[in-house]
């Protein structure tokens, strides 16, 4: 399907793995040049692979979203390569690795790194990149949230709270930038078997009494069938498909929205 994105440029944070990488590949398949920003120094290698596979221009930059100077430097390098940016996808995020049940098991100190990366990192990306999107007069930004930001997941309260902030800030940003024809939306994955998901689910699994504990994979599959109406894990490609669609002219009247790609786990009316 031609989403009328060919010849444009997208920046994907967290683009070296998981949902970010799937998004970079799908943009490239639509003829979009991509800049992969990731803390992983392997981003440059991945960009070359995308460039060779899809025939678009691609660069990979090591970026730490917790450092404004790192984000600003990455922007300068990206503009030196592409001159402009049409789309931003912010996928970079971390869990706290300090699990709740209840939240009082965590100290306030346990929250700081997660909130700095997930909330202030998002704000740094938005602050640095918004002027470029405004100049394009037709830019888009998609934040990768989580259903955890809507249901108050007890497993990792700092992560859950940070993703609630993602949803709210995207709405603020959408209102501010609408006058410039820049659209901002949030896509919330459900259950995607990424490393981050495994770390969170492992904490849940570890609470099962040993006498009742199944093999992790068997347990996880049963949980998916219990929790998800469609009865399946979501894949990074499922999430990427919604992100790229929202970045396209076919979603030209969609802004400030929170779209769940979760197999029906969270339903709103």
Token pair of 58, please?
Answer: 């691609």
- Kindly state whether residue 3 falls inside one of the protein's structural domains: no
Q: Mean pLDDT across the stretch 206-219?
A: 78
Q: Which residue has the higher pLDDT, 35 or 196?
A: 35
pLDDT(1) > 70? no
Q: Quick check: is 2 in a domain?
A: no
Distance CA 80, CA 88 (A): 17
Q: Is 56 helix (H, G, I), strand (E, B) or coil?
A: coil
The reply to whether 267 falls in a domain is no
| 110 — pLDDT class (breaks 50, 70, 90) | very high
Give the model's pLDDT for residue 222: 87
User: Could you tell me the pLDDT band of residue 100, with boundaries at 50, 70 and 90?
Assistant: confident
Domain presence at residue 266? no
pLDDT of 177 > 90? The answer is yes
Instruction: Name the pLDDT band for 186 (thresholds 50, 70, 90).
Output: very high
- Among 16-25, 129-138, 150-159, 210-219, whose mean pLDDT is lowest? 210-219
Q: Which residues belong to the active site?
A: 159
Tally of domains in the chain: 1
C-alpha span between 194 and 17 (Å, rounded): 9
9 vs 194, higher pLDDT: 9
Backbone torsions φ then ψ of 266, nearest 5 degrees:
-110, 125
Percent of the chain with pLDDT over 70: 99
Mean residue pLDDT of the chain comes to 94
Question: Cα dist. 73→79, 128, 192 in Å?
Answer: 10, 10, 31
Contact present, 9 and 132 (Cβ < 8 Å): no
pLDDT digits (tens, 9 = 90+) for 187-212: 999 999 887 777 777 777 777 777 77
As a whole number of angstroms, the distance between CA 237 and CA 90 comes to 16
Print the domain residue range for 251.
Answer: 9-261
Tell me what the mean pLDDT of segment 20-38 comes to.
Answer: 98
Tell me the average pLDDT across 152-180: 95
| 88 inside domain | yes
Distance, in Å, from the CA atom of 132 to the CA atom of 176, rounded to the nearest integer, reads: 15
pLDDT at 162 over 70: yes
| φ, ψ of residue 61 in degrees (nearest 5) | -130, 140
pLDDT score, position 216: 80
> What CATH number corresponds to the domain at position 144?
3.40.50.720
Quick check: 48 pLDDT over 90?
Answer: yes
Q: What's the pLDDT band for 97 if we cut at 50, 70, 90?
A: confident
Residue 136: its pLDDT value, please? 86
Q: What is the pLDDT, as a whole number, of residue 66?
A: 97
Average pLDDT for 87-101: 90
């Amino acid at each position: 399907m031609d989403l009328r994105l060919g010849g444009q440029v997208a920046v994907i944070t967290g683009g070296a793995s998981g949902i970010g990488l799937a998004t970079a590949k799908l943009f490239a398949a639509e003829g979009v040049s991509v800049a992969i920003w990731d803390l992983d120094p392997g981003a440059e290698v991945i960009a070359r692979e995308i460039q060779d596979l899809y025939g678009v221009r691609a660069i990979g930059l090591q970026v730490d979203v917790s450092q404004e100077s790192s984000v600003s430097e990455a922007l300068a390098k990206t503009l030196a390569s592409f001159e402009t940016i049409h789309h931003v996808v912010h996928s970079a995020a971390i869990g706290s690795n300090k699990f709740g049940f209840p939240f009082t098991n965590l100290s306030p100190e346990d929250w700081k790194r997660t909130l700095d990366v997930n909330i202030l990192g998002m704000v740094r990306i938005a602050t640095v990149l918004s002027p470029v999107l405004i100049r394009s007069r037709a830019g888009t930004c998609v934040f990768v949230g989580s259903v955890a930001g809507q249901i108050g997941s007890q497993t990792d309260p700092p992560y859950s709270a940070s993703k609630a902030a993602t949803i709210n800030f995207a709405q603020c940003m959408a209102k501010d930038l609408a006058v410039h024809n820049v659209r901002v939306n949030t896509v919330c994955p459900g259950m995607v078997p990424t490393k981050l998901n495994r770390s969170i689910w492992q904490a849940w699994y570890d609470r099962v009494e040993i006498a009742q504990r199944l093999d992790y994979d068997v347990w996880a599959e049963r949980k998916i069938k219990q929790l998800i109406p469609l009865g399946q894990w979501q894949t990074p490609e499922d999430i990427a498909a919604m992100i790229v669609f929202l970045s396209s002219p076919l979603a030209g009247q969609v802004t400030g929205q929170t779209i769940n790609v979760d197999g029906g786990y969270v339903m709103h009316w």
